[in-house]
Amino acid sequence: MENSRLKKIGWGFGLCNMNCKHCYNSSCMADSIPRYTLGQLIDVADKICPHIRDINFGTGELICNPNVIRLIYYITDTYPHIDIAVTSNGYTIINMDLIDIKRRLSDVDISIDFPDQDRHNAFRGHPQAWAWAIRALEILFEVRMQRTVAMCVTSRTTDSDLLEMLRLADKYGACLRLSWYRYTGRGSESLRVSAEKAWKIVEFLSDKAVFSCLDSVFAGPLGVKSTLCPGAKFSARIHQDMNVTAYPFLRGERWSAGNILDPDVNLQSVYNSGTFAGLRNRIVPYCDACEFKTSCASGCITRAILHSGGINEIDDYCPVKYGQMHIVEKARKNMVMHKQGNLVHEGYLCTTIMKPRHGV
């Protein structure tokens, strides 16, 4: 039996104090969302931590979830080799002890979707969303924590928004991470980003930022090395019901490789499951003769499933199928890659991470 190569784990609990229009998990504070005991959480940590490198706590707001702060204490004390990242709307960071932030966390993503208060608050469904996010960035700057502004790119995102978000990230010495919207959960299909818009965004940013990570569907055609779509290969997601899937965007029995609380389920059984093996062995007929077959590997599995209709379909940002190679050539001329620290999200999701160039 093949040993697990899963080294990066996302772990979400679903309890959240906001009502974001794009939430892939429809997170909320509903009584139906499970609250696990500290003992149960420690059992899961003991099962996975000896075998992995890092954990990102996302999906829902960390501090809203009972016992998770104490879980972080346990993991950092017991498994000091683990890097822990948190994706937050800001509320967790402004309510955590500053010493704990510095000692217990490796890096933090603060979610901001628009560069102005009114639109961000409306999109997040909370009047304090902007204030919390900005205060959290100030705190992270003060304690010199690795920090990233995480922006969900949707059909509403404009070039002006992107430029202002780069400037906002620069103001707080942060990276900017583009989380490309997936049509699932609470979000509407109208928020989807077309291949043309996605590639125009990449081209627009290509001379304004230095990139450290690109989705494989961008990296391959641009001649940039990537980890390819990492789900089921190097990373996995523990959901609020403790089922394990290859990606946060894939949920339910169809994509589950087992419940991590089950005594018979561990990272090796997850990795060797039919579900994960099927994702790793994905075959996309459209790509057979493509020059980017190896470097792109058919792009992101989740966009193929959620947007294109199935595991053996093409990522809907494919520049070959959707006629965007002329934009690829423009972006390639300006593209500069340089690693930015040791960010947990690199190699965990198909995502795009950058820092603004000087003078943007």
Tokens 């959901």: give the residue.
239
Residue 330 has a pLDDT of 95
Which pLDDT belongs to residue 227?
Answer: 79
**pLDDT value of residue 2:** 74
Structural tokens at position 342: 């040791």
Q: Report the pLDDT value the prediction gives residue 225, as an integer from 0 to 100.
A: 86
Q: How far is CA 185 from the centre of its chain?
A: 15
Which pair of structure tokens corresponds to residue 35? 């609250």
Q: Which helix (H) or strand (E) holds 171?
A: helix 159-171
pLDDT at 246: 97
Q: What are phi and psi of 143, to 5 degrees?
A: -95, 5
Non-local (6+) Cβ contacts of 201 within 8 A are: 153, 157, 159, 162, 178, 193
Per-residue pLDDT of the chain (360 residues; tens, 9 = 90+): 678 899 999 999 999 999 999 999 999 999 999 999 999 999 999 999 999 999 999 999 999 999 999 999 999 999 999 999 999 999 999 999 999 999 999 999 999 999 999 999 999 999 999 999 999 999 999 999 999 999 999 999 999 999 999 999 999 999 999 999 999 999 999 999 999 999 999 999 999 999 999 999 999 999 998 878 999 999 999 999 999 999 999 999 999 999 999 999 999 999 999 999 999 999 999 999 999 999 999 999 999 999 999 999 999 999 999 999 999 999 999 999 998 888 999 988 899 999 999 878
Q: For residue 180, list its beta bridge partners.
A: 153
Task: Tell me if the pTM is above 0.95.
Answer: yes
Best CA proximity match to 348, nearest among 4, 3, 82, 9 = 9
Give the HSE-up count for residue 100: Cα atoms under 13 Å, Cβ half-sphere. Answer: 15
Place of tokens 């080799």: 81
Q: By C-alpha distance, which of 264, 271, 227, 223 is closest to 245?
A: 271
pLDDT for the residue 226:
83
For the sheet containing 146-153, what is the strand order?
Answer: 209-213, 352-356, 175-180, 146-153, 107-111, 83-88, 54-57, 8-11, 235-238, 244-245
Residue 102 burial (CB < 10 Å; 0-12/13-18/19+)?
middle
Specify the CATH superfamily of domain 8-194+230-281+338-356.
Answer: Aldolase class I (3.20.20.70)
Cite the beta strand spans of the chain per DSSP E.
Answer: 8-11, 54-57, 83-88, 107-111, 146-153, 175-180, 209-213, 235-238, 244-245, 352-356
User: What pLDDT does residue 126 have?
Assistant: 97
pLDDT at 1: 64
Q: What is the DSSP letter of 50?
A: G
Residue 175: predicted pLDDT: 97
The reported pLDDT for the residue numbered 118 is 98
Mapping DSSP to helix (H, G, I), strand (E, B) and coil, where does residue 176 land?
strand
- How would DSSP label each residue in 205-250? HTTTEEEEE--HHHHHHHT-------BTTTEEEE-TTSBEESSTT-
How crowded is residue 31: how many other Cβ atoms within 10 Å of its Cβ?
A: 6
Q: Residues 6 or more apart from 115 whose CB is under 8 A from it?
A: 161, 164, 165, 167, 168
Angle of helix 129-142 relative to helix 117-124, nearest 10 degrees? 110
Count of other CB atoms within 10 angstroms of residue 15: 22
Query: Per-domain residue ranges for the chain?
Result: 8-194+230-281+338-356
